[in-house]
Structure 1
Amino acid sequence: MALYVGMDAGGSRSRAAVVEATGALRGAAVGAGANPVSHAPDRALDALAGTLRAALAGLPAADVRGLVLGLAGLGASGADALAARLAELARGAGLACPTHVVGDVVTAFAAGTARPDGTVLVSGTGAGAVRIVARREAEVADCHGWLVGDEGSGVWLGREAVRAALAALDGRGAPTALLPAVTAALLGAPLHPGAGRRGAERVVAAVHREPPIALARLAPQVSAAATAGDAVAVGIVARAADALVAAVAAVRGDARTPIVLAGSVVGGPTPVGDRTRSALEERWPGCVRVAGDPARAAAWLAAQPYVSSIAGR
């Protein structure tokens, strides 16, 4: 029986799925973050290997006919080297099949529609919009990474939450429920406006002790505060949604093709997701859909005869 493997290497977690040619799921696993842009390459590959082995547990490796990995931040310069490492990783798991690396936006788009053309809006750890043509990236807005872009992403929301908390702490900004919520998440106990400079220094130190992508874990604090009506959090949500819609508009024009939403921020029941979906539906009615499992979509792509052209190989 022919099997196909799909993998998704996100900054926060990795996923793997094993499917039959019919699409029936035979194995799945979730592991640690495995994006080599966000993590040390060796650590990322170790995480991928562990997730792959877990998904294949009890299945005949000899029956696997193809593997596709979807990866954020995939540039042409590093694609060949990564493809070689992926092939090595697959051989280590007992696979002797072709392996391909594609952008995670390609797998995200395939997770929402079987059509070859459209737009995918991703907002999870990172964020951006991509126009897809023939299941390949054609035009990109944002996707610039946490330091200079990814507006509306989980990391962006977390950073804005910390900024709002610090501003409330030292009197530069409006009072906000984000101050106790964010400081409790970072420090284990909430701070209040009277905490002063020493409290602010503790917050800054806690943020810098972790990698930047760890800020994404504060995104739920923004959602909770916005849902409760906190004005500062509502403003952050509005700016995030506006940025995400603007990214779609930058690459889409007036197309009537599908708009696929992917990632925990925009694809789930969050205030940012709700506001973004509403704005997109108003502008492009009937076009919006939410992505399913990107690893399973990658496995579906692995079963397609044109997968080599999708991967640019």
Structure 2
Amino acid sequence: MFCHYPEIFNQRESRLKDKVDWGEKREPFKVLATDTITGKALEADVHNAIPTEKVDGTCCYVTTYKGQPYLWARLDRKPSKQGEKRFKRFLYSLEDCKEFVWNIEEDFKPVPDTWIPAKDIEFSNGNPLPDENGHMPGWVPVEKNSKQYCWHSSVVNYEAGVALVLKHHADPGLLEICPVPLSEILEQTLELIGTNINANPYGLGSKKHPVHLLVPHGAFEIKNPPALKQNDILSWFESCTEGKVEGIVWHCHDGCLIKLHRHHLGLPWPLAETYLNSQPVVISFNGTKCDYDFEPKSLFHHFSMLDGQKFDRLKDIKFDA
């Protein structure tokens, strides 16, 4: 399972002469959506798919490691400098009639022995094949107290077998933060969001007291979605409270996931106020399936001290100094 989804609209490159607003970073071109739906989206019956909020974080995966459910961090295996040079030379050669052949052993950087490829990756002669961008998407397990993946590690407790999850509460219009058994989210992908992820678009926590949470993919269904026309979606992003999101992911009945990022409509992200961080949230530790004495400095302990408390907005959650 992986979080690299095809786009709903065909795209075009908008160059500087198109007078696109680039913000602080100026680039030679920007990818923008056209008003035509891609063939992949139509084949997946996107018109009857379930639209959900695209959450801005880093992709994670829960699967077995060391005989128990573990959180895995995304790690793409990328080409070495030599392999990338060969690939770029091929792309610029315009030899459309030929297919580029990778040398898996020589053209790619090494990865940890624990690395596993994403499930939907193709194989040839027992070797995983890179995607059209020359990357091999995959995962590495998040070890306890990992320095490289410390923010991932902060949202799991392997002794208790739980993850810290943000999801909908049973009461409509209310979010909930609670420990969820890793066994219940086995073989699922999730998004890690928080203080030190992607410049913290949701305003969670602080430098002194960072806050990170896992959000299951597809957790936040869009209740009043726009029609699948560019102008309707653009209007929804700009004028609806529910449209203050990074993008939309459509979950199709065949399992295909189709996405749209607001950037591809020329709209800014992040926003000062987002739909997610402005919703009320309750902390629920008592009554969950977790009965464990968490370490005093852990994120789980801090949240357990707020058990039962309700905040008007997600970004209002603060821990005592």
Q: Does TM, scored on the shorter chain, surpass 0.5?
A: no
Name the structure with the higher strand share: 2
Taking structure 1 as the reference length, the TM-score comes to 0.29
Name the structure with the higher helix share: 1
Taking structure 2 as the reference length, the TM-score comes to 0.28
